[in-house]
Amino acid sequence: MSTKTGIADRRPLDPIRELRLRRWARENYVTGEERNAGWHPIVLDEMSRRDAEMAKPSRSSFVPLAPGTSHEVHAAHETLAGPKFARSRVRSNETADLPEWSLVESD
């Protein structure tokens, strides 16, 4: 961590506060045009670091398979079973062919 000072009081910045500011800057990142020059220097520094990270060419976003590996699907997974639905117990006033919302309460 750095030992930067606060803007108004010029006291050394607490390491916990610095971490919180850096985390806030990461979570609330905005592009350079949208930033306010009056923001805390730690926030601006962390956002500029994020700019540098984003400017680097990224590698592919997936992990390639090792060459020469074979893949097979086990017999148990070849056919997928349909979804299983849980059903509550049948109520005394419910009929098998009518949905619950169509039942009329009897007196």
Residue 29: exposure state from Cβ atoms within 10 A (0-12, 13-18, ≥19): middle
Structure-derived torsion over alpha carbons of residues 40, 44, 46, 50, reported in degrees to the nearest 10:
160
H helices of 33-106, in order, are 41-55, 75-78
Give this prediction's pTM: 0.47
Tens of pLDDT, residue by residue over 40-90, are 999 999 999 999 988 887 766 676 667 776 777 777 777 766 666 666 655
| 4, 41 Cβ separation under 8 angstroms | yes
